[in-house]
Every structure is written in C-alpha cells, then in structure tokens.
Structure 1
Amino acid sequence: MHPVFLELIQVKWRLYGRLGAWLLLILNFLFNVSWTTVAISVSVNRESVDRYVLPQDWWRVLLVVVALLLTVQEVIKEVQDVIRSNRKLRLWQRWAERRLHDDLRCLHPMWPQEKVFLLDQIKQIRLMRGSYSQDLWNVFDWLVYSLLVASFSVHMADVLQPCSSLRTCSLRLFSVSIIFLWLRLMKHVRAFRVYDNSEANAVMQQASVILQVEDSMSVLRRFYDNQFISRHCAPLANTPDDGTATSPRYHDEMTHITTQIKETLDQFLDLQRDVSGSCLNQNKNQDLQNEDQNQRIQNPELQNPNQDQDLELQNQNQDLPNQSLNQDLQNLNQDLRCIRTELQQLRSLVQLLVHNRTNSRSGLEPELDLKTETSQNENKS
C-alpha cells in the first residue's frame, strides 16, 4: 500500500475510527448478550403453564423488548447499507456509461472491433452488482437475523398457545441461532486482531471500519474537527519510518548484500581512477614528445647526426610502454566486466530479497531461500 494512503488510514483511525469500532463492538456485544439471555430464560422449566407470569417475569419481558429493539436497529442499518450500495452503483454506472458513449461517438470506421468492445463493456457494467452482496459477512448477518426471527416467531406461538413441541422447536432454533450470533461478533473484532504477518490485513479492516463509521455513524464525526487533515496534514511532518518489523534473517541478508555492493563499487571506482590516471599520463608524455619534436624542427642546430637513430630508439622505447599500457587496459576492461557481472548478480539478489520480504508481509511464505541463492551466485562469480 502507498505510504500516503497508509498514513491517511492511520490518521482517520486515530480521529474517529477506533472509537467507532469500539462502539460497534459494544453494541453488538450487548445485542448478543440480550438474545443469549432470552434463549436461556426460555429454556427454564416453569411449574405454570404460562410462559410469562407477570409481574414476576417483568425482567424477561424487558430483555425481549431490548433484544427486539436492537434487532430492528441492526436490520434498519443493513437496509440502509443496501440502499447506499445500490445508489453508489447506479451513480458509477451512469458515469461509466457516459464515458463509453463518448468513446462510441469518437470511433473511426476503420476499426469496427472497437465498437464491439465498447458495447460489450456497457453490457458488463449493466450486469454489475453492488459491493454489499459481494461481502459474505453481510450474507451471514441476514442469516443470523433470519434465524432470530424464526426462533422468536416459534417462541411467540408457544406463548400464545403453549405446546411442548413448539417449546422444543423454539429451544433448538435458539440454540443454533446463538452459535451463529456469537460467530458474527468476529466481524467487528477484525480491526483489532493483529498477529504475525497480518498487519496488512488489519490495515484493510481498519479502512473498512472507517468507511462504515463515515456512512452509518456520521454523527460521530461531528465531535471532531472536519478540517483537521487540511490544517495539520497538508503536509504531514513525519519521521521516515515504515512502521514494519523486519525479520532478523532478512536483515542479515540485506546487510550482507549491502556490504557486497559497497565493496564492488569501491573496486569499480579504484579501477576507474587507475584507468583515468594512466590515460592522463599517456597524454602528458605524448604532449611532451610532440613539443620536443616541434622544437627540434624549428631549431635545426639542435639536431645531431645521430638524430635518426635517436628517433628510432625513442620510438622503440615508446612502443614498450604503449604495449604494457594496452595490456593493463585490457586487464582493467576484463576486471570491469567482472564487476559489472557481480553488480547484475547483486541486483538480482536485491530484487529477490524485496520480493520475498513483500510476500512475507502479505502473509505468504518466501518461495526461495536467500542464503542458498547468495552462495550460488558467489560461486558463479
């Protein structure tokens, strides 16, 4: 995830996301406790034929009323989420279709396949469903609500017309409903469950909770400054820390590869300086020789009878350093090629290390052992 969006999620989470998540968790916990208490009270055997004896059972009636009110509140919230999801989908479909129709008006007759492609895209957009139905937790919520409604309906039938079979059926339905009801609570604790390599998953759950709070608990945002991000986070001064824990094994591998890169670059720079110095000395010697020859040509009296022999000996003496210099240059070029090969190998190792580290952060096991790969590359070099 991009660090800007990651920091935005953290800022919103500290502002109102964490409090909203706790409120949702507490409300759903009370919702579960109320229905669990109702189910336990239904299972108690009574000497009286009536299921509720007033005024002794006033607290049971109160629990039933509280449970029903919480259920109605949850159902209304789910219905609002459905309506909101469908409205967002319709707005996006209209926008996407307008863009595609604009592209259709700009088509060239020479490319009829583009028209076929755009028409197919329009059909796919019209067949898209809202994001609400794609979340299995929402389907699970409706399953729980259906079980609670069925259990309470059978229980009310048993209250109006007491019957042992109805009581047994209501108890069984309540037993199944309570199990699914407490499993549903896991939906609201996902943002707080951080273990091993689940940091990325926890961040995404925090983002989901923030969106849920912004949509369904807009009143909560009124207690905070709506201009906080524009005032204090534009720009946001923060230390350059990615906030992730590095494995010691990966840290050792990164240190080893960094040391190899530094040593290789030092060798490369030393060879480059040697080559530059040799070329500079050669140029100086050539300039001195050219200057000496020019002076002799301009001053014939400086020439001696053995000038030809001296020139021949001088040329032979020049050939020897040139040959040795060429040999040195060849050796340096060979060393440079070896260094380039090592740099390429180190680059591949760094890419492999980053890839394995990314997989480990997303909850996946690394596919290759970096130590084995490093030793193999060292043997090849």
Structure 2
Amino acid sequence: MIKFLKKYKAFLIGFIIIIPIFYILDSIGLILLPEERTYEIIIYAIIWGVLIALPIHNFNYLKRKRKMVLKVLYLIALFFIALLVDSYMSMPDNPITFILLIVFWFGFAYILIPKFIKKYWKLITLIYAPLFLYFIYLRLFSGGLEAYLKIKEDFPFYSFFLPIPILFLVWLFEQWKWIQNLKAEKAKTEISLLRSQINPHFFFNTLNNLYALTIKNSKQAPEVILKLSDMMRYTIYEGEKETVKILDEIDYLHNYIELHKIRYKKSVDITFNHSNIDPGLNVAPLLYIILLENAFKHGVETLSENAYINIYLFEDNDFIYFKIKNNFDPKEAQESNGIGLHNLKRRLSLLYKEKHQLSVDRTKNTHQTTLKILKHA
C-alpha cells in the first residue's frame, strides 16, 4: 500500500491543491459552487484533481514534450479566459462562455487522444452540433431569460453532456480492441518462434538416426531419406498453417513411427489406434509429434526389450483426445528438461487457452500423457 501511495502521490497532491483553489475562486466570484449539491463539488474536484495530478505524475515525460505542454498551458489560459468572460458579463449560461469551454474540452481531448478524435470527429460533430444549436436557440430565441430559465428548470441542460459517457465508452472499446490486437500479434509472433524451435529439435534427432544407418551402409537409408524429406516438406509448408486436417497429422505420425522402426533392431510393440476419429477434423499442426518423440526418447531408448508405445486418437461430442502410453526403465530414465515439451505447453496455452488440458500419469515404469482439445476451438 505504501509503495502504491508513493507511486501515485501526485494524484493525492492534485486533490489537496484543487480544493482550496475551488473555494478561493468561489469567494472572489469567478465560480459558483452549488452548496446544496455536494456530489457535484466532489465530481468536479476529482476531475480537476486528476488534471492537476497528471502533469506532476508525468513530469519527466513532459520535460521531453515541451510543445504539448505549451498547448496544455494555452488551453488552461483559455479556460480562465472563459471564467473571466462569464464573470464579467454576469449572464447565466453565457453562450460565449459555452463556446470557449467547448473549445477547451475538445482541445484537451485532442491532446490526450488525437487518433480517437480524428477517427470519430464526424460522430462527435453529429452529436454535439445539434445540441449546441438547440442550446443557442433556447438561450437567445426562446423568449428571454425568464422563459429560458423556466425551460431549463423543466428540462435541465445537463443533457448537453450526456454524449460524454457514450464517447468515453467508444474510447474504452477502442482501447480494448487495440489491446486484443496487440495480444493476438504477440501470440502469433511467439507461436512462430516456438515452431522454429520445435522443427530443428525434431530433425536433429531424426538426422542422428539417419547418420547411424549410413555408418552401417544400411539399405534402408534411402527409404529413411525419402520419409524424412516428406516430413520436412510437411513441417515447412503445413506447419506454418493455423490448422491442418487431422488425417495429415496422423500420416505425419505414421512416418515418424516407421522411421524409428527402421532404426531399431530390438522389438518394439507400437500400436496406433485412430479408427474412432473424423478425418475431416482440424487441429493445430505439430502438436502430437512432441509427445510421440518423448515416448521414444525417454521410454523405448531406455529399454533393451519388451518396449511398447500405445497411442489412441479419438473424439467424443466435444473434445479430441490424444493418449500415449509407454514403459521405461526406471534405472535409466531421467527427468526431461528439453525444449520440446516446454514449447508444446506454451503453444497450447497460446492456441487453445482454456480450451485444452494436458495431463500426465506416471507410475514406477509407465508413463501416460493425455492431451484433450476442444473441437472447433
């Protein structure tokens, strides 16, 4: 709390400054504080307290923005000119004062949010021009001051300021949209970076497998090169898409499995059941390969015999499930801190947010991972 007060002490200073200023201006007749409407005084104090606090809070920034500071000072001078004109003319709801105040407020808004004002100036003009003309008509052509005050009593002219909350809500929407777009661009950039990390990670391992075969002059080396070429083509061209057909992912996994079957001389029992899946479903590319790769690296490679990997890809009414179970040698297995699984979790959080679930169930010598993704997420 103390850190918060220190950081935003300028706003406390602004409120402390504005209250005596209000009463001084009221005492000399430049403004008239509504004694019976305390809530108005509080609202005015908050607004002007913030206006005073902002330059104090951003003092270092303002030092670098002298031109903007000068514009603000001109507007403040315009405001006090409006007060002097209103005091000098002694005319209730003086139209000249209204014009000066409108220029002041819109000038201030233009300095704070110039892009918003430029974008919506037509809407602002459409709202305020008729209201201002209506005010001029009531004030100057409705039958004199008494008739105007009677109309004002029946229909308070606070309606003149009703569009302000509407414009404020439009501005908030613009800020929200800008933040969402910024998040989306950040997510796309991060996903692209994660993909660039995933692809080398997989191909380094596969090239190591190919290297072992070429050392032995294996006749299977050309077949491995062909399958690896197909996988690289898929990774480069399909991997850049937002979604791919799940059937293409299945073919990709089959190619990976076949590469490892060629590599291993020991018997490995690998089953891949995907009969209960709609081949037309779409998923993000290159999600499942990390889990399959880990099953080989931290399971099959730790066992000399009886190694197995069981894979199930299926769906229900709402979700797509990918389950992979493998055994491992507890004496040989080590905790994995590779980039593959870390990047998978990060990609899932960016692509599917709260619409996925990744769970791990580990026993003494088995490891099962389940990835659950909402359909059409």
Q: TM-score, normalised by structure 2?
A: 0.24
Higher RCO (Cα < 8 Å, 6 or more apart)? 1
Higher normalized helix content (fraction of residues): 1
- Larger strand share, 1 or 2: 2
**Greater CA radius of gyration, 1 or 2?**
1
